[in-house]
Structure 1
Amino acid sequence: MPEPLIKYCGNKSLRDVQVVAKSKAHYIGFIFANSKRKVSPSDVNKWLRQVDIRDKKTVGIFVNAELKEIEEVLAKVPLSVIQCHGTESVDFIKQVKNKTSLHVWKVIHHNEQGLQMMKEFAGVADGYVVDTKVANIWGGSGISFDWKSIPLYQHEARKQRVPCFIAGGIGPDNIENLLHYDIDGFDISSGIELDGKKDHIIIQTIEKWVDTCVERTK
């Protein structure tokens, strides 16, 4: 299997950014929506000026934000990707793309209508994150959805020729099982934390599993 794309999300301190900067992640995520991991654009700007994140791309996470709010963040933070994590419409995603000229990912909260929703964003979304929606928590719950559905989402994303990341409840204890689904990528937040902070040992453990699984399939 090809090496999966890695996104480590919910970075909320200079230390978190320093830890993730040394990882093999392709994407480093920052949450600008109401969340226990919410950060301010000014802080992220300051961290990114202090840390060499190498060739990692930055992802900004928004939940049902107004276009003006996204623009205000972009004025301070050099984002590579905008991730819409709420109930944003196809038209709104088009507006964001036209206004910012950036790639926009749409989060699909797994349910019976999830696959149909992904189809509705075909030709508009530049990528997807399939996550678990729990009560009033939009993401970062540490709870997995039924992974038997992954092939359906993955197949649709490949038809659209865009990446599909799997999120929700991923950690060192189940990453090997997840990789058996031949995913494009995975997105982890709480699963790489110890006492609420990104942990380099946990990250190394996950990345060793990734290397092992990729090597096995060569």
Structure 2
Amino acid sequence: MKPKLKLCGNRSCDDWKLVRESDANYAGFIFANSPRRVENNQVAKWLAEYPSNGMKIVAVFVNPDLEEIADTVSTVPIDIIQLHGNENAPFATKIKQMTGKEIWKVIHHCNAAKEEMIAFAGIADGYVIDTKLPGQWGGTGKKFDWESIPSYKEVANEQGVPLFVAGGINDSNVTELLSYQPDGIDLSSGIELNGGKNRDKIEKLQERLC
């Protein structure tokens, strides 16, 4: 079964215009300290000028406060809130109650990762497994040990939610990743050239997914 596709880290209107013309199911915008950080008013303007046409919009946060999330939700027409830091389950519950939005939790690959997923059972509407490097929460362009994907997928399946994989994915290795049958794949740097999204890289990726 073809995995869902999320193209993340859109940092300009040009990025967004490329991604909205793609086969992606989800488009991600980062509202956290990052080279790809965007502001609420910017994204609201891009989405007003170039509507998503059914593509779901994911807002990515790293250890936010409730006010920060409330400001974004009131300004930007988002569908999903992705928590990419060390947020805990009670905090995610508060966000869900406050916004009524789906919550995706990023789980950083480590020995305690499955236990963290279990703690979010009944709260997270989806998981993204990503690589964690010192001083960085994501967007590293580095893959983790993909042989661990089946064990993560087993936990997600038990909870009835999708499992996305992020970190170091590109058109040259995505075929290998598909052999582990993730529910979705999440790319940012793997579809970029010279600091922006690249049409050729997106098209090559989509060819691999057919």
CA distance in 1, matches of 2:29, 2:98: 20
1:153 offset after TM fit, Å? Answer: 0.5
Which residue number corresponds to residue 3 of structure 1?
2
CA distance in 1, matches of 2:204, 2:50: 23
Which residue number corresponds to residue 146 of structure 1?
145
Matched residue of 1:202: which SS?
A: helix
User: Which runs of 5 or more residues in structure 2 are unaligned?
Assistant: none
Which residue number corresponds to residue 190 of structure 2?
191
Q: 1:82-121 counterparts in 2 under 5 A? A: 82-121=81-120
Which residue number corresponds to residue 43 of structure 1?
42
Matched residue of 1:128: which SS?
A: strand
Which residue number corresponds to residue 214 of structure 1?
none
Which residue number corresponds to residue 70 of structure 1?
69
The percent of aligned pairs where both chains have the same amino acid is: 46
Which residue number corresponds to residue 166 of structure 1?
165
Q: 1:19-34 counterparts in 2 under 5 A? A: 19-34=18-33
1:54 offset after TM fit, Å? Answer: 1.4
Tell me the TM-score normalized by structure 1.
0.95
AA aligned opposite 1:68: E
1:3 offset after TM fit, Å? Answer: 1.6
Matched, 1:55 2:54: yes
1:84-105 CA distance string (max 9 Å, x none): 0000011001000000001001
Matched residue of 2:128: which SS?
A: strand
CA distance in 1, matches of 2:35, 2:63: 17
1:63-112 CA distance string (max 9 Å, x none): 11001100011111011000000000110010000000010010000000
Tell me the TM-score normalized by structure 2.
0.99
User: Which runs of 5 or more residues in structure 1 are unaligned?
Assistant: 212-218
Which residue number corresponds to residue 206 of structure 1?
205
CA distance in 2, matches of 1:135, 1:46: 34
